[in-house]
Amino acid sequence: MEERKRVAIEIMVVVVAVVMGCCMWKGCNGLSLCDMNEEGLEACKPSVTEPNPVDPSPECCKALAAADLKCLCSYKNSSTLPFLGIDPNLAASLPAKCNLTPPDNC
C-alpha cells in the first residue's frame, strides 16, 4: 500500500513538472500553484533563476504575500524546481526579501 502511495506522489510531481514546464515555455492560462497564479509565478521567475537573479519585484512580493507559503515550502527539496530552471535556494530566500516570515522548517 505504501508503495502505491509513493508511486502516486511521484506521478503527481511529474505531472506538475510537465504542466509548469509547458506553461513556462509556451504560456497557459489558469495556472496556479500554492495560491499563486500564472502572473505571480512569472513575476517571481527572474528572482529565482540563475545566472543573474534580480531582487523580487513589488508584483512578485504581492503574489508571494497572498500565496500559501507552507505549500510552496513543500517543494524546496523537490527535483521539480531545478527541472523548471528554478534555484531552490533562491526560491527559499524570497519571503525574507519580501519582508515575509516563512513557515517554520522552511
CATH of the domain at 55: 1.10.110.10
Rounded-to-integer distance, Cα 99 and Cα 69, Å: 13
49 in any annotated domain: yes
63: closest CA among 101, 45, 36?
36
Instruction: For residue 81, give the H/E element and its range.
Output: helix 80-83
Has residue 72 been placed in a domain? yes
In a domain, 81, yes or no: yes
Whether 3 maps to a domain, the answer reads: no
Domain ranges, residue 86: 38-98
* pLDDT tens-place string over residues 18-73: 455 555 544 555 667 889 988 998 999 999 999 999 999 999 999 999 999 999 98
Would you say the pTM of this structure is higher than 0.85?
Answer: no
Instruction: Work out the pLDDT band at 7, boundaries 50, 70, 90.
Output: very low
